Structure 1
Amino acid sequence: MSLKSRSPFLLIAPFFLWGTAMVAMKGVIPNTTPFFMAGVRLLPAGILVLLAAIWMKRSQPQGWAAWLWISFFALVDGALFQGFLAQGLVRTGAGLGSVMIDSQPLAVALMALWLFGEKIGVWGWLGLAIGVCGISLLGLPEEFILSAGSRLGEAFVDIGSFADLLAGLFDNGQWLMLLAALSMAVGTILSRYVCQYADPISATGWHMILGGLPLFGLSSQLETDQWTNLSAANWVSLSYSTIFGSAIAYGLFFYFAASGSLTSLSSLTFLTPVFALLFGNLFLAEVLSPIQWIGVALTLISIYLINQRDVLSGSISESIEEVQGNIAENRQMLPQADSNLSEITTISDSNLDR
Structure 2
Amino acid sequence: MSSVRCRPGLLLVALTRQLPRGIWWFRAFVLGALNIGVFFALLFVAAYRLPGGVAATVGALQPLLVAVLSAGLLAERLKLRTTLAAIAGVAGVSLLVLRADARLDGWGVLAALGGAVVMATGVVLSKRWKSPAPLLATTGWQLVAGGLLLLPVALIIEGALPASLTAANLAGYAYLTIVGSAVAYALWFRGLRALSPTDVTFLGLLSPVVATLLGWLALDQRLTGAQLVGGLIVLGALVAAQLKRTKPVDTSTRVLEPV
TM-score (norm 2): 0.83
| Structure 1 residues 276 and 44: CA distance shift in structure 2, 3 A | farther
* Aligned-partner residue type, residue 149 of structure 2: P
2:34 paired residue among 71, 76, 91:
76
Once residues 92 and 45 of structure 1 are traced to their aligned partners in structure 2, the CA distance between those partners, rounded to angstroms, is: 29
Q: Distance in 2 between matches of 1:309 and 1:72?
A: 32
**Helix, strand or coil at the partner of 2:92:** helix
CA distance in 1, matches of 2:113, 2:127: 22
Distance, in Å, in 2 between the alignment partners of 1:180 and 1:95 is 15
Deviations 1:63-115 (A, max 9, x none): 22111110111122221001111222222222221222232111110010111
Partner of 2:87: 129
Q: Give, in whole Å, the separation in 1 of the partners of 2:107 and 2:169.
A: 25
Amino acid of the structure 1 residue aligned with 2:75: G
Partner residue of 1:300?
A: 235
Normalising to structure 1: TM-score of the pair? 0.63
Give 1:143 deviation, angstroms: 4.8
Cα distance in 2 for partners of 1:183, 1:192 equals 15
Partner of 1:158: none
1:63 maps to which of 21, 31, 35: 21
Equivalent residue in structure 2 for 1:220, among 137, 151, 155: 155
Q: Is the 8 A contact 2:73 2:128 kept in 1?
A: no
**What residue in structure 2 maps to residue 252 of structure 1?**
187
Does the 8 A contact of 2:74 with 2:128 survive in 1? no
Could you say which structure has the higher helix fraction? 1
Who is 1:262 aligned against? 197
Structure-2 change in CA distance of 1:228 and 1:95 (3 Å): farther
Q: Which runs of 5+ in 2 are unaligned?
A: 253-259
Say whether residues 1:88 and 2:23 are aligned partners: no
Correspondences of 1:167-206 after superposition (within 5 Å): 169-171=104-106, 173-206=108-141
Q: Return the match for 2:209 from 264, 274, 299.
A: 274
CA contact (8 A) 1:123 1:309 kept: no
Q: Secondary structure at the match of 1:280?
A: helix
2:218 to 283, 307, 326: 283
* % identical equivalent positions: 28
Q: What is the match of residue 106 of structure 1?
A: 64
Residue 268 of structure 1 aligns to which amino acid in structure 2? L
Residue 77 of structure 2 aligns to a residue whose secondary structure is coil
Q: How many residues align?
A: 252
Secondary structure, in 3 states, of the residue corresponding to 1:258?
helix
Does 1:139 pair with 2:87?
no
Where does structure 1 lack aligned partners over 5 or more consecutive residues? Answer: 1-37, 145-167, 326-354
The one-letter code sitting in structure 1 at the alignment partner of 2:227 is Q
**How far apart in 2 are the matches of 1:87 and 1:232?**
29
1:46 aligns with 2:6: no
Q: Is the contact between residue 61 and residue 199 of structure 1 (CA under 8 Å) also seen in structure 2?
A: no
User: 2 CA distance for matches of 1:51 and 1:309?
Assistant: 40
When the two chains are superposed, the root-mean-square deviation of aligned CA atoms in Å is 3.0
